[in-house]
Structure 1
């Protein structure tokens, strides 16, 4: 009997604090991850930690500068948020063997695109906030940016509206 080749896939899922990304992860677990013994899926959970906003002090000396205590508190809070999000996402994947988590700092649009290319992801899965045209124009759309700029297929999962 001929041996069947095992198909390996790297599935990158972008997660953040929003319900939309966790819904996309859940949808991916139910519809994309294969339980076929002839396939081996590695799920990579990516959290893009937004860069810390830097507020320059005004030249007239009336502004406030952040103390080192304040900066370290903000960094600690950012790490706690990243840990919380990735732990919640990992708990959803408890039945899978091959799950990796990555936390990177930077603009989520850039981080997600760079990691999809660096990891040679077979597919990028992400949620969408479902903003309308006006909000998207002002806030930008991470999912739209990624869909336009990554080399692999992008699966954008929209959470159904609750009534």
Structure 2
């Protein structure tokens, strides 16, 4: 049974793994006429963070900056037909909801490979997506 791949969701966080994730998703999409949907999730600002109490950075400016950077990254990889979205919230939750809304057939993500206390404190976005995504998930290991 072949894996249906009409819509592939690719969450990107602009880490060094972003290129690897985009390349893998592009490899999967080629020949299948799949549509790639890239997504970046901005975590909410902590109201106690410096500058937030005074209203800076402005949420619209922050989102616009990320949107522009995402388009630049995609353009540099010649992925001009990839739609890029920005959402605000918890990364795992927003990625899962985005995959549902897009009727994704596959989500391609990277694991940052946290372990021990770091994993306990930060949680595992990849693990939560694996457990709750509405479609298959391909998890790429980070480069050592």
Pairing 1:88–2:73 present = yes
Name the structure 2 match of 1:46. Answer: 39
Distance 2:17 2:63 in 1: 20
Point out 4+ residue stretches in structure 1 off by more than 3 angstroms: none
What whole-Å deviation, never above 9, does each CA across 1:69-88 have from its counterpart, x for those lacking one? Answer: x243x652453134213421
Distance 1:88 1:48 in 2: 15
Counterparts in 2 of 1:54-133, with a 5 A limit? 54-55=47-48, 66-68=53-55, 70-72=56-58, 75-92=60-77, 94=78, 98-133=81-116
Gaps of 5+ in 2: none
Give the superposition deviation at 1:13. Answer: 0.2
Distance 1:117 1:108 in 2: 14
Distance 1:66 1:51 in 2: 13
Name the structure 1 match of 2:127. Answer: 144
Instruction: Report how many aligned residue pairs link the two structures.
Output: 140
Structure with max Cα Rg: 1
Structure 1 pair 107/65, CA: closer, same or farther in 2 (3 Å)?
closer
Name the structure 1 match of 2:6. Answer: 9
3-state SS of 1:109 partner = helix
Give the superposition deviation at 1:135. Answer: 1.9
Q: RMSD of aligned C-alpha atoms?
A: 2.5
Give the superposition deviation at 1:65. Answer: 7.5
Distance 2:53 2:117 in 1: 34
Distance 1:86 1:97 in 2: 8
Gaps of 5+ in 1: 1-6, 57-63
Pairing 1:34–2:34 present = no
